[in-house]
Structure formats: C-alpha cells, structure tokens
C-alpha cells in the first residue's frame, strides 16, 4: 500500500467521497453512462470506507475527527461509535443497491433532471454519513438540516404544482420542527450540561429533573421531525410524490432513519438509559408514540395507493423505535437500533417492488394489482419477504427487533407496550399481506372477464408470461429481500456489537 489509512483519514474521506462525488457527477452531466457508472463507484467506495471504520472499531480503534468551532467551545466533531457505525454501514450499503435501482428506474421512466437527481442524492448521502458519525449534538443538527435541504429538490423533482405543494409540506414541517423544538432542546442541553458530546451514560444526569426533563425529552422527540411522530408525520406521505428511488432510499432509509437515529442517540448518549429511567421523562411520550403506531397502522389499512400505504406503514414502524427508546431500558434501545436496521432493509425492498410494479404495469393502486404476482413473481416474492420481515416473522431480520423490543418492554414491566406491539403486528399483517396474496391467487385484472377454467392452472407461473420490470430494478429488490433473511442470522452479532455502548 502506498499510504496507510488512519481512522482520521477515513473519517475525512467518508464525508469527502460523496461530497466530491456530487461535484464529479455534476461535471459528467453530458455523459449519462459515465455519470451513472461514477455514481455506482462512489457508492461502493463509500460503503468500503464505512466497513473499514466498522472493522477498525471492532479491532479497538477510536476514530475521531475535530474541525472548526461553529460556536465557541462547540467544534464540528466526528466520532465513530457502534450505533452510528451500524447506521453508516447500512446506509452506504443500501446506497449501492439503490443507485443501481435508480439507474434502471430513471432511465426506463425517462425522468428529467437526472444529473440534479444524482447530485442531490450524493449530498444527502454525505449528510447521512455526517449524522451517523456525528460526535456531538450540534454536528448532528448541522447535517440533519443539510439532509432536509438536499432532499427537497428530490421531493419536488417533477416540478409540478402537486410536487410544489408537497415540497412545501415537506420543507415546512421538517425545518419548522427542527427549528422550533430541536434547536431549543439542543441549546437548553448545552446550557444545562456545558457540553453536547455524545457520552456513554449521558450528560444530563443530575442536571435536570421532573417535568423539565420530560419537556426536554419531548422537545427532542418532536424536534426530530424526521422520525414522523404524529402529529408531525404529514411530510412523509407528502414526500411520496417523489420518484420511487427517493421514496425507497430516503423515506425508508436515510431521512426517516436519521430521525429515529437522532432519538436513539439522545436517549443513549444525552440522557443515558439509566437516567432516563430514573427521571421517568419518557413515560408519557411512550403513549404518544404508541398512539402514532396504532393510528398510522389503521390509516395504512385504508390506503389504496401502494406508496401511501407504505408511507403510513413507515410512520408506524418508526414509532417502534421511539417506543423502544421511551421504555428506557437497555434492551429497548437495542431493539430500537435493530428495528432501524431491519426496517430499513424490509421497507426499501417494499418500495423498490412498488416502483418495479409501476414501471412494468403503470399501476399504483393496490386494488388494481391483483394477479400481478403471476407475471411478476420475483418482484412479488421479494415483496413477500420484505413484508414478512416488517411483520416480524422468523427467519427474517424483523423478528429480532421485535424480540429485543419486547424484552425491553418486559424489563420495564410495560405489559401494555407488549399488547400494543402484538396488535400492531397483526395490523401490519393485514395491510401488507393481502397485496401479495391477491397477487398470486387472483386472476389478472385485465383477464378477469375471460372465462377461467376451474382449478389447477390458475396459480401456475409461466415463464413465457413474465412481465417483470428491467433487471436493474428487480435484482436490487431481490438483493435487499435476501439481505433481510441474512440479517436474521446476523441479528445476535449486531446486538452484541451495540450492547457495550449502552451501559453507563
């Protein structure tokens, strides 16, 4: 090797690669093939760097990078820690998949402004990395806001009136919540603790108590508007107006996960699990997120538009993480972190399938999708796996997050939470599985009028009748579906990696 990679260099590179990548993508505007190849290359490089950091951390390295102060005494600081590393590796790995998917989707759909699309994607990715590796709250907040701003052009991609309206909701809600709640919460924390560094065991112990702690905690939870806690969830369904790759990646992985990741970090490193439990600041927020969970699931049941249903399902699934944090137990936090991973894999699969269905058939309404499983078996197979993972059925990753969350609930003695989660699993079964069942077992919408022979041949998939979306779109969905399975086997390892960070 020409030069040895130090952890500090890698931290710099992990921010620079997507940042410079955005510039390079802009420079290759005129050569779409080169531009798309470059996007893939950057994504791969970023993932390799994130994995390097992860391995370095496992080997005992402490990666830390300090830059200029934004305000006196508060530098831009990056520190690699387990939860952030898991998030960074997850996001960068899925970025590769979604880039491949975007290439297929954007080309097949003849989307305009593709260069802008990839540039904004890369900037969003850089800010996601910044959030994942942030060493203090202010750095996290900085990249949190950049993520909001850089995804706005992606949401209004089509520049129609509807897109503009959706964009207003998106930017309005996300920026307002972060300025109105998150920023005061951060400044209040700074005022109380004199530091904003993410510290094991938290920094607030003994500095605040009672109602004030509860208010501060609520400010953080609502301030992280990206976590889509009701009633601040409207931006998520609104953002579904974006092209599907955006919905898939940003609104199942990067943006929403940045929200719950913030909440996790605040729970673990600002309040600290022990302190959070002792001041009982989170008790009432548990009920708020439980409401969010059930209400969003019920709304999802009633949505006929596939992306809208998935959006509400996302709101519900994010509330799992919030509830996990609100339980204020170690297992609850582990469950929250696991949910962050498994839901990302599951939901990105579902969104990619939704996009593939749209590309192949032009259909967006669930009621029109019956019988499609027979002509798109790979897409529907992937969808089934993703759905099962989200519901939480072994051997899929989602089973682990539910497992740890429920352990957290029983540690906290919260039987009600257990009940809510059982109910919501049933609800998610009800809003996800009918699509697959009807896809495989009912005749195609277009062929319904034709007389059908009773019996065997209806459920047969014939290769000659396959009408799948382009390979670039189907293969990524299958990959993430298989990853969902893999994560089931890696589950204990991931939990074991995160666990040491949660103690005092």
Partner 1 sequence: MILQHLAILQVMLPLLAAPLCVLSRSPLLAWGIAALAGLFALAGSFILFAQVLNAGVISYHIGNWAPPWGIEFRLDAANSFVLVVVSLVGAVCILYGRRSIEREIPEDDQPLFYTMLLLCFAGMLGVTSTGDAFNLFVFLEIFSLSSYVLVAMGAERDRRALTAAFTYLLLGTIGATFYVIGLGFVYALTGTLNMADMAVRITGMAGSGTLRVAFAFMIIGMGLKLAIFPMHLWLPNAYAFAPSIVTALLAGTATKVALYVLLRILFTIFSPAYPFESQTLQYLFLPLGLAGVFVASIVALFQQDVKRVLAWSSIAQSGYFLLGVSFASVGGLMASIVHLFNHAIMKSGLFLAVGCVVYRTGSCSIASFRGLGHKMPWTMAAFVIGGLSMIGIPATIGFTSKWYLILAALERGWWPVAIAIVAGSLLALFYFGRIIEAAYLQPSTDDSTITEAPLSMLAPMWMLTISCLALGIDSELTVSAARAAAEALFLDPHAGLPAHTGP
Residues near partner 1 (CB under 8 A): 67-72, 76, 138, 141-142, 145-146, 149, 156, 159, 163-164, 167-168, 171-172, 175-176, 179-180, 183-184, 187-188, 190-191
**Radius of gyration over alpha carbons of the chain, in Å?**
22
**Nearest distance, CB of residue 370 and partner 1, angstroms:** 38
**Nearest distance, CB of residue 167 and partner 1, angstroms:** 7
**Nearest distance, CB of residue 156 and partner 1, angstroms:** 6
Peptide bond preceding 118 in cis form (omega within 30 of 0): no
Q: Which is nearer to partner 1, 72 or 454 (CB)?
A: 72
Q: Which is nearer to partner 1, 159 or 446 (CB)?
A: 159
Contact 388, 398 (CB under 8 A): yes
Contact 237, 308 (CB under 8 A): yes
- How far is it, in rounded angstroms, from Cα 410 to Cα 417? 9
Euclidean distance between the first and final Cα of the chain, in Å?
39
From residue 236, how far is each of 119, 133, 246, 318 by CA, in Å? 22, 24, 12, 11
Q: Which is nearer to partner 1, 185 or 334 (CB)?
A: 185
**Nearest distance, CB of residue 176 and partner 1, angstroms:** 6
What SS3 state is found at 162? Answer: helix
Among 74, 76, 46, 47, which Cα is nearest to 64's?
A: 76
Residue 30 is encoded by which pair of tokens? 């005129």
Q: Which is nearer to partner 1, 150 or 349 (CB)?
A: 150
**Core vs surface per residue 3-25: b (16+ CB within 10 A) or e:** eeeebeebbebbbebbbebbebb
DSSP state of 316: H
**Host H or E run for residue 131:** helix 114-133
Q: Which is nearer to partner 1, 239 or 328 (CB)?
A: 239
Q: How many residues does the chain have?
A: 504
Q: Which is nearer to partner 1, 154 or 501 (CB)?
A: 154
Q: Which is nearer to partner 1, 186 or 321 (CB)?
A: 186
**Nearest distance, CB of residue 235 and partner 1, angstroms:** 14
Q: Which is nearer to partner 1, 161 or 457 (CB)?
A: 161
What SS3 state is found at 503? Answer: coil
Q: Which is nearer to partner 1, 148 or 317 (CB)?
A: 148
Contact 89, 47 (CB under 8 A): yes
Q: Which is nearer to partner 1, 188 or 291 (CB)?
A: 188
DSSP-assigned letters across all residues of 167-223? HHHHHHHHHHHIIIIIHHHHHHHHHHHS--B--TT-S-TTT--HHHHHHHHHHHHHH
Instruction: Please give the distance of CA 339 from its chain centroid, rounded to a whole number.
Output: 10
Among 148, 152, 130, which Cα is nearest to 140's?
A: 130
**Nearest distance, CB of residue 141 and partner 1, angstroms:** 6
**Nearest distance, CB of residue 239 and partner 1, angstroms:** 15
**Nearest distance, CB of residue 149 and partner 1, angstroms:** 7
Q: Which is nearer to partner 1, 114 or 361 (CB)?
A: 114
Among 81, 103, 80, which Cα is nearest to 33's?
A: 103
Q: Which is nearer to partner 1, 232 or 338 (CB)?
A: 232
**Nearest distance, CB of residue 180 and partner 1, angstroms:** 5
Residue 216 is encoded by which pair of tokens? 């501060």
**Nearest distance, CB of residue 353 and partner 1, angstroms:** 30
Residue 461 is encoded by which pair of tokens? 């998939």
**Core vs surface per residue 173-206: b (16+ CB within 10 A) or e:** bbbebbeebbbebbebbbebbeebbbbeebbbbe
**Nearest distance, CB of residue 163 and partner 1, angstroms:** 8
**Nearest distance, CB of residue 263 and partner 1, angstroms:** 19
């Amino acid at each position: 090797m020409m030069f040895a990679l130090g952890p500090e260099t890698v931290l710099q590179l992990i921010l620079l690669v997507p940042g410079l990548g955005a510039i390079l993508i802009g420079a290759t505007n005129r050569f779409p093939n080169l531009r798309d190849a470059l996007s893939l290359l950057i994504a791969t490089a970023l993932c390799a760097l994130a994995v390097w950091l992860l391995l370095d951390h496992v080997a005992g390295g402490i990666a830390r990078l300090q830059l200029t102060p934004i305000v006196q005494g508060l530098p831009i600081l990056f520190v690699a820690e387990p939860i952030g590393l898991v998030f960074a590796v997850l996001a960068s790995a899925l970025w590769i998949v979604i880039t491949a998917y975007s290439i297929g989707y954007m080309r097949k759909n003849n989307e305009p402004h593709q260069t802008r699309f990839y540039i904004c994607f890369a900037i969003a990715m850089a800010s996601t990395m910044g959030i994942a590796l942030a060493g203090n709250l202010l750095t996290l907040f900085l990249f949190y806001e950049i993520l909001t701003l850089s995804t706005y052009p992606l949401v209004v991609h089509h520049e129609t009136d509807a897109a503009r309206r959706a964009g207003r909701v998106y930017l309005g809600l996300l920026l307002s919540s972060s300025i109105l709640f998150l920023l005061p919460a951060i400044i209040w924390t700074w005022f109380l603790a004199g530091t904003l560094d993410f510290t094991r065991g938290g920094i607030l112990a003994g500095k605040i108590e009672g109602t004030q702690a509860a208010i501060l905690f609520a400010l953080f939870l609502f301030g992280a508007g990206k976590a889509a806690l009701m009633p601040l969830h409207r931006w998520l369904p609104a953002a579904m107006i974006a092209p599907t790759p955006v919905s898939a990646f940003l609104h199942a992985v990067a943006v929403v996960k940045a929200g719950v990741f913030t909440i996790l970090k605040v729970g673990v490193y600002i309040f600290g699990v022990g302190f959070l439990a002792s001041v009982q600041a989170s008790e009432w927020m548990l009920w708020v997120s439980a409401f969010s969970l059930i209400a969003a699931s019920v709304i999802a049941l009633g949505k006929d538009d596939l992306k809208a249903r998935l959006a509400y399902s996302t709101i519900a699934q994010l509330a799992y993480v919030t509830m996990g944090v609100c339980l204020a137990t170690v297992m609850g936090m582990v469950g929250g972190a696991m949910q962050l991973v498994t839901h990302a894999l599951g939901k990105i699969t579902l969104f990619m399938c939704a996009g593939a269905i749209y590309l192949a058939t032009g259909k967006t309404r669930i009621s029109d999708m019956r019988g499609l499983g027979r002509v798109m078996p790979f897409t529907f197979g992937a969808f089934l796996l993703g759905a099962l993972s989200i519901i939480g059925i072994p051997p899929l990753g989602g089973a682990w997050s539910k497992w740890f969350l429920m352990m957290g609930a029983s540690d906290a003695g919260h039987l009600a939470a257990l009940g809510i989660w059982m109910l919501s699993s049933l609800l998610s079964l009800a809003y996800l599985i009918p699509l697959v069942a009807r896809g495989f077992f009912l005749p195609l919408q277009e062929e319904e009028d034709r007389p059908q022979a009773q019996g065997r041949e209806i459920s047969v998939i014939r290769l000659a009748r396959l009408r799948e979306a382009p390979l670039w779109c189907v293969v990524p969905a299958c990959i993430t579906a298989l990853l969902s399975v893999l994560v089931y086997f890696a589950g204990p390892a991931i939990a074991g990696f995160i666990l040491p960070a949660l103690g005092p």
